[in-house]
Amino acid sequence: MKILGVVPARGGSKAIAGKNLTPVAGRPLLAYTAEAARASTRLTRVVVSTDDPAIAEAARALGLEVPFLRPAALAADDTPMLPVLQHAARELARQGFSADAVVLLQPTSPLRRAEHIDRAIDMLEQTGADSIVSVVEVPHQFTPVSVMRLDGERLSPYLGDASVTRRQDKPRIYARNGPAVLAVRTRVLERGSLYGDDCRPLVMAAGESIDVDDSEDLALVDLLLGDGPLRIRYRRPTEYRKVDVAQLRPGDSYKQLIAKRTHPIDELVRIHGRIPDDLLTPRRCPTCGVADAALELEKDHMRIVRCAACDLVYVTPTFDEAHYETVYRSAEYQEIVRDLGIRSHQYRVERFGRERVDIMARHLRASRPRILDVGCSTGFVVEAARDRGWDGVGLDLNPSAVEYGHSRGLDLRNVALDDAGFEPASFDAVCLFDVLEHLLDPVGTLRAAVRLLRPGGIVFLYVPNYDSASRLLMGKDAHFIWPTHHLNYYTPSSIRDLLRREGLRTEYLATEGLDLVDYLWYRREVHGKRDEGVEEIADLLQFFVNAGAYGKNLRVIGRRR
């Protein structure tokens, strides 16, 4: 297919004068759409449709074509988009380029990326639809069954049944997000329609769907795209390959490196558009076993879905158990994780270990409890427990991390939980910190932990919070949305449901952490930079985020009944 990208950028914006060239994070607003369009591998040509010579000059400087100027009659405030696209397609056809489809790319959607454009075109080609339009899910509190109206001084339902209050019982509603992307067949345009009879959705995250319409929208995208602490980092398409230690470069993080190591094969595997099907295995909901699920988002060519029965968010299909066993036991992975763990051990004892032990102390009934930390790394929690006079044991698959723990006098064992050989009811607490999100079978691991608890014992776990402010703001760009390795994504309700199914009563549930705070700490401690103003209110921001259950991590204690 020959695909024409059209960027409509008239010069007469009223709400924000000169909007398309207004600086956003030091660049014209138009530049972000130009960058996405140039990075697309599916667009055959990209042109700017404008009536303004200054915009035409700026567009050419950004690497876009401006083969014509739009007539003034098609550049009024009330001009619909249909005749603008029809004019562009006809003008290019007159010049000898006849497109099979046209993709609308509005410059007011600066968070849309090349992968969204390419995915829309792929969908148009594969489904045979008349058009593909980008949409965003409407927050559940704004769905028709939630909307109210005032009758005098009383509230009454505007539509639907006001008794429907649970999010999972409400219909999922979508709205066009600009649209950021509209791919439509040329023949449909010529029939006088933008969408045709068969229009399919390209679902985008809320954090990718900001449509710049007024000064508040402009300020928000300037914040997200700038160099400040809330900056969204754009991710290039992932190249999956085995990584040799000799190839590592300064600045590479273990997360970046391990994400590129996907399967125990020697040759380079370059993925363009998807991961080969023979590397992936379909998966049912790991909590309830139901297969029915709705797509939440896609990232790194992997699908993240929400279970229709229990509301768990999880990855399917995934790599198989052998793949993850190979990755986590690989020498490269263990060396990187070991080095990070050893360098930061004392810091983690003081910053994380003691806090977690303090939380457990408020819930443990034994005066000198025995605890087990599964996935203990170098044993920073076990050390904090020992310092308090407790008996602590740690398990980890990294032999170097375990060896380092031995050097500090800790009881660490290089063995998996299933192979540890502990007697049932032998611990007062079992800790699963940052473990369940990595597992193909999190229920099996939790069940094994429960068997080890003494009567009234507790399971203490940390998992990323899918309902966090980070994910709600940044969508799939939130740091923990990592589907090659994070296979399960929990919310407060779904983690409570998991504990209940395994005979645990949720006794404590809180959220903690805010990416802003972490980023400020990193800039201050590592780079010696302070973010004046923002830094002063960081703790206050974190307090309100945690109080509203929007922190980036869930920390949960379940007590054995």
Q: Tell me: the pLDDT tens digits for 438-474?
A: 999 999 999 999 999 999 999 999 999 998 877 877 7
Q: Which residues of 62-145 form beta strands (DSSP E)? A: 101-104, 131-137
Residue 212: predicted pLDDT: 92
Q: What is the dihedral of CA 423, 345, 479, 217, to 10 degrees?
A: 130
550 neighbors 467 (Cβ within 8 angstroms): yes
Domain borders along the chain are: 3-138+173-225, 139-167, 360-560
Query: How many other β-carbons are positioned within 10 Å of the β-carbon of residue 66?
Result: 19
360-560 has which fold? Rossmann fold (3.40.50)
Residue 163: predicted pLDDT: 66
Residue 446: predicted pLDDT: 97
Q: Tell me: the pLDDT tens digits for 88-113?
A: 999 999 999 999 999 999 999 999 99
Residue 140: predicted pLDDT: 75
203 neighbors 135 (Cβ within 8 angstroms): yes
Q: From CA 365, how far away is CA 456, in angstroms rounded?
A: 8
Residue 543: predicted pLDDT: 59
Residue 330: predicted pLDDT: 67
Strand pairing category for 101-104 and 174-176 = unpaired
Across the range 539-555, mean pLDDT stands at: 68
Of the two residues 137 and 200, the one the predictor is more confident about is 200
Task: Name 463's bridge partners.
Answer: 554
63 neighbors 34 (Cβ within 8 angstroms): yes
Q: Tell me: the pLDDT tens digits for 309-365?
A: 998 999 999 888 877 777 677 666 666 666 667 777 888 898 899 999 999 999 999
Has residue 259 got a pLDDT over 80? Answer: no
Q: How confident is the model at residue 561 (pLDDT cuts 50, 70, 90)?
A: confident
Annotate 310-329 with three-state secondary structure: CCCEEECCECCHHHHHHHHH
Has residue 243 got a pLDDT over 60? Answer: no
Question: Is the CATH code 3.40.190.80 the one for domain 3-138+173-225?
Answer: no
Residue 264: predicted pLDDT: 29
Annotate 501-560 with three-state secondary structure: HCCEEEEEEEEECCHHHHHHHHHHHCCCCCCCCCHHHHHHHHHHHHHCCCCCEEEEEEEE
Residue among 440, 467, 485 at smallest CA distance from 302: 485
Q: Which residues of 259-322 form beta strands (DSSP E)? A: 293-299, 302-307, 313-315
Q: Output the average pLDDT for the chain.
A: 83
Residue 252: predicted pLDDT: 37
User: What does the DSSP assignment read for 24-78?
Assistant: ETTEEHHHHHHHHHHH-SS-SEEEEE-S-HHHHHHHHHTT-B--S---GGGSSTT
Of the two residues 458 and 245, the one the predictor is more confident about is 458
Task: Name 304's bridge partners.
Answer: 297, 315
Has residue 155 got a pLDDT over 70? Answer: yes
Residue 534: predicted pLDDT: 55
Has residue 501 got a pLDDT over 80? Answer: yes
Q: What percent of the chain has pLDDT over 90?
A: 56
Q: Tell me: the pLDDT tens digits for 373-384?
A: 999 999 999 999
Angle at 365 between CA 360 and CA 370, to 5 degrees: 65
Residue 351: predicted pLDDT: 83
Residue 34: predicted pLDDT: 95
Query: Looking at the chain, how many residues does it have?
Result: 561
Q: Tell me: the pLDDT tens digits for 385-439?
A: 999 999 999 999 888 889 999 999 999 999 999 999 999 999 999 999 999 999 9
Has residue 285 got a pLDDT over 90? Answer: yes
Query: How many other β-carbons are positioned within 10 Å of the β-carbon of residue 535?
Result: 17
Q: How confident is the model at residue 530 (pLDDT cuts 50, 70, 90)?
A: low
Residue 522: predicted pLDDT: 47
Of the two residues 227 and 153, the one the predictor is more confident about is 153
Asked which of 186-200, 406-420, 547-561 is least confident by mean pLDDT, the reply is: 547-561
Angle at 63 between CA 59 and CA 67, to 5 degrees: 60
164-171 own/partner pairs: CB under 8 Å, 24+ apart: 167/140, 167/311, 168/311, 170/140, 170/143, 170/145, 170/146, 171/143, 171/144, 171/145
Residue 258: predicted pLDDT: 37
Of the two residues 478 and 67, the one the predictor is more confident about is 67
Residue 520: predicted pLDDT: 56
Q: Tell me: the pLDDT tens digits for 118-135?
A: 999 999 999 999 999 999
Q: Tell me: the pLDDT tens digits for 194-225?
A: 999 999 999 888 778 889 988 888 888 887 78
Has residue 51 got a pLDDT over 80? Answer: yes
Residue 244: predicted pLDDT: 43
